């Protein structure tokens, strides 16, 4: 991992998946969203700071405690055993404070978007989220009822250009995904297909529709985030042309030293 790690994708992904509340503190960005998703409820060490590390961690813990959320630090690097240089001290300190590893994830990048000439029946492309799309994602991703409102509020906060794709079979939505376009990049999020219909190529159709529309809008590169345990998704993205760029993971309070869940 380079000493001068480029946090461009980290910034893009924060815009594409905004938190409900944000606190900036000495180069760190705290994101809070009622506990829904790690990405939107995490402490991100992005820029160099001046305040003592222990003092910064304590302050973040106090903020998260105020909102009833378990403190959760996001770290980036080549893998959970090698964070980027500016985060090594933080990673080591968190281990001593009983922060365990949670959700090691691969950032995948496709550096050239190829034109998609294949036509797929039932693909619907829109520029915003409608209720049918939202309810389909809630159902197929099995989002807990306590998070329904938070999920919808987060979607409403997205300020960058959106590509919202649904796949219909027999007049019913069976899969969804969306792209967030910014500065020649398109980030791909919330890719999901109804469980009993997976493995039939519908996910690929949704992804290719997002990328094709993104190319029309001027995007030339794409990124996405996939948990390392999700083998089917990794296989799909590899076939499309995505390659791992770097990894990130979370250290969450109380998970146990070095614990992986």
**What tens digit of pLDDT does each residue of 235-258 get?**
999 999 999 999 999 999 987 544
**What tens digit of pLDDT does each residue of 129-181 get?**
999 999 999 999 999 999 999 999 999 999 999 999 999 999 999 999 999 99
Q: What is the CATH number of domain 123-219?
A: 3.40.630.30
Q: What are the structural domain ranges in the chain?
A: 8-105+247-253, 123-219
CATH tag for 8-105+247-253 (out of 3.30.420, 1.10.150, 1.10.3470, 3.40.630): 3.40.630
**What tens digit of pLDDT does each residue of 46-66 get?**
888 899 999 999 999 999 999
**What tens digit of pLDDT does each residue of 71-110 get?**
999 999 887 778 887 789 999 999 999 999 988 999 999 9
One fold for both 8-105+247-253 and 123-219? yes
pTM for the full model? 0.91
Under a CB-based contact definition with an 8 Å cutoff, are residues 60 and 53 in contact? no
């Amino acid at each position: 991992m380079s000493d001068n790690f480029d946090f461009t994708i980290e910034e893009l992904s924060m815009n594409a998946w905004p938190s409900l509340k944000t606190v900036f503190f000495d180069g760190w960005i705290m994101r809070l969203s009622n506990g829904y998703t790690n990405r939107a409820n995490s402490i991100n060490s992005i820029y160099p700071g001046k305040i003592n590390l222990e003092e910064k961690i304590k302050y973040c813990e106090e903020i998260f405690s105020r909102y009833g959320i378990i403190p959760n630090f996001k770290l980036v690097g080549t893998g959970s055993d090698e964070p980027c240089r500016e985060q090594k001290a933080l990673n080591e300190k968190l281990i001593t404070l009983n922060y365990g590893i949670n959700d090691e994830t691969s950032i995948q990048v496709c550096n050239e978007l190829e034109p998609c000439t294949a036509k797929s029946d039932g693909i619907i492309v829109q520029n915003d989220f409608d209720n049918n799309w939202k309810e389909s994602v809630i159902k197929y991703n099995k989002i807990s009822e306590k998070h329904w409102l938070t999920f919808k509020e987060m979607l409403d906060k997205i300020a960058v250009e959106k590509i919202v794709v649904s796949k219909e079979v027999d007049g019913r939505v069976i899969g969804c995904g969306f792209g967030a376009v910014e500065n020649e990049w398109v980030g791909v999020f919330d890719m999901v297909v109804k469980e009993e219909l997976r493995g039939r190529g519908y996910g690929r159709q949704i992804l290719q529709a997002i990328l094709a529309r993104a190319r029309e809008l001027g995007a030339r590169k794409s990124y996405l985030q996939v948990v390392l345990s999700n083998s089917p998704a990794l296989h799909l993205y590899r076939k499309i042309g995505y390659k791992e760029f770097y990894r990130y993971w979370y250290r969450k309070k109380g998970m146990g030293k070095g614990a992986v869940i």
